[in-house]
Amino acid sequence: MTFTVLVVLAVPWFLWGDPRTAAGLPIWLWWHIGWMGLASGVFYLFTRADWDRYMGVSDV
Amino acid sequence: MSELSLQLGIVVGYLVVALLIGLVAYRVSTNVAEDYYLADRSIGTLVLLFTTFATLLSAFTFFGGPNLAYAQGPEWILVMGVMDGVLFAILWYLIGYKQWLIGQREGYVTLSEMLGDRFGSTRLRGLVAGVSLFWLFPYVMLQQMGAGEAITGLTGGAIPYWAGAALITAFMILYVVIAGMRGVAWTDTIQGLFMLSVVWIAVAWVLSAVGGPSGATAALQSTNPEFLALGSDFYTPAYIISTAVVIAFGVTMFPQINQRFFVAGSDRVLKRSFALWPVLVVLLFVPAFLLGTWAAGLGIEVPEGANVLPVLLSEYTPVWFAALVIAGALAAMMSSSDSMLLSGSSYFIRDLYRPFVDPTMGEDKEAWLARVGVALFATATFVASLSRPGTLIEVGNTAFGGFAQLTLPVMVALYWQGTTRSGIVAGIAGSQLLYLSHVFVPQVTVDLAGTAVPLFARAYGGWDVALAGMALGALLTIGVSLVTTPATEEDDSRFAIGAD
């Protein structure tokens, strides 16, 4: 579920056709860069907490 | 020193460094197949991360991608992010970690070996290896063609195309034969770091000349304002989604990527790489593609058949730096091809030659034959690249779609114990047939109750036909598994984790 949200919103669909820029880059690109940073963070937390849960590995 | 010899010196110097690293790796290796193919399953985080990363990159990062950004705008960054950054990371976990767990226990070296063993079928093993090699061969050929063209372009034609491609091929054979997976992984790490640095230096250099990102973007605003708005007639949502999904799923089944799922030293290595992945993707592709985009606003004219990045750099940076970037691009092509050669050879020797020709082959002989395989494979693709057969180029360009067809049947098999041999064979064969027919049969339009319906088109309403093939593969695997019973040689405990 979390993964789905991460994939779907990696492209800022709500900014479709939006030409505004900030600090020299389009804001949809800033969104994407930030989102990838967020994805990394979420992935890191996942490796700490639930990494083995869906693999059936219990005794590690 | 003349410009030409300076450029050549940099490129050849680079190749020699790669070769030296290969020699060092050779000295710490032992002569058994598992070490040659998988570096004894002992690879650490930095090296695994970069060897996978460098392997993913091809000529596209430096040439095709920036060209596309120059012509159509920078939205490819999003495709890259979704595909490589997020989707691939998730598949890395779902398929990669699972394969690593299974491979660790059962000692598998290739995907086809793993499936063949689980379903007790040498034919399935041969089928998966054969399908993989079919798509891999032309893809290696494309890399050699790219390398040959890059060297010809760099030297202004002083070195002909065939000699450039031959030079690269010879170097690759040398160090892959000598060093195996460990050497490939080490050189990939150097090459990955090198590419990353070179791209950022290039951005800094160009931007300092044109007044920072705001200056470059302002210039773009006056010439191509449509590039700054998200989306276009070219980048439709259907295009972005199809491309990202097909390539991400295809990448997972590329032999050289898939084989990396077996090489990690511990699960900690897999975890760290997984979390760092999205950041790494952004770090490389954002600058590379932005350079191409900005070039459009800076009035860079790209001659027919040339690539935008070298033209841009020769405008704003000194000769030696432009040559370094070409070396970086060659590094990208070589780091993909060397891994493909190694994996291609292991698929061929282990999954086709050994089971069907010489079942009693020992480990020593296999490690030796694997090297012969690398040399043969590289020579064959080189010879093919000289005549540039149109059919093979077509296959190479559609390789991602072809590999993507394998992913869902494999995933079903990994996670559902009810999968049967007939099920997975039907899933793989069915989806390949559907996809191949769409690649090779020319499009025909039939009239169906008054509306023109295209058949055998590569895309329907903007959606890539590969997606349909993937769905068909999954449906066939599950459907046929449900109506057939497992053969006696099948062993579903092979993929069960944690039962012991």
Query: Could you tell me the CATH number of the domain that includes residue B370?
Result: 1.20.1730.10
Any domain includes B454: no
Any domain includes B130: yes
Any domain includes B270: yes
- Alpha carbons B263 and B51: distance in angstroms, whole number: 11
Residue recorded with tokens 């999904």: B245
Q: So what's the pLDDT on residue B500?
A: 40
Any domain includes B480: no
Any domain includes B500: no
Any domain includes B209: yes
**Residue of B486, B489, B488, B495 lying closest to B422 (CA atoms):** B486
Any domain includes B402: no
Q: So what's the pLDDT on residue B60?
A: 72
**Three-state secondary structure call for residue A50:** coil
Residues spanned by the domain of B168: 3-391
B25 touches chain A (CB under 8 A): no
CA distance B214 to chain A (A): 4
| Number of domains composing chain B | 1
Q: So what's the pLDDT on residue B391?
A: 66
- Alpha carbons B426 and B434: distance in angstroms, whole number: 12
- Label residue A58 by pLDDT band (50, 70, 90): very low
Interface of B with A in 278-307 (CB under 8 A): 278-279, 281-282, 286, 290
A5 touches chain B (CB under 8 A): no
**Neighbour tally for B222: CB within 10 Å:** 8
DSSP annotation of B43 reads B
ipTM of the complex: 0.82
- For chain B (500 residues), the mean pLDDT of every run of 10, in chain order, is 76 81 74 71 74 72 79 80 82 86 84 88 89 87 82 78 87 80 79 84 84 75 73 76 83 85 80 84 85 80 74 82 80 79 86 82 78 88 80 71 86 86 87 82 68 67 77 85 80 65
- Label residue A60 by pLDDT band (50, 70, 90): very low
Any domain includes B310: yes
Chain B interface, best mutation among A5, A7, A14, A59, by max B CB count within 10 A: A7
DSSP string, B176-213: HHHHHHHHHHHHHHHHHHHHHHHHHHHHHHHHHHHTHH
DSSP string, B86-147: IIHHHHIIIIIIHHHHHHHHH---SHHHHHHHHTT-HHHHHHHHHHHHHHHHHHHHHHHHHH
Identify all chain A residues contacting B278, using CB atoms and an 8 Å cutoff: 36-37, 39-40, 43
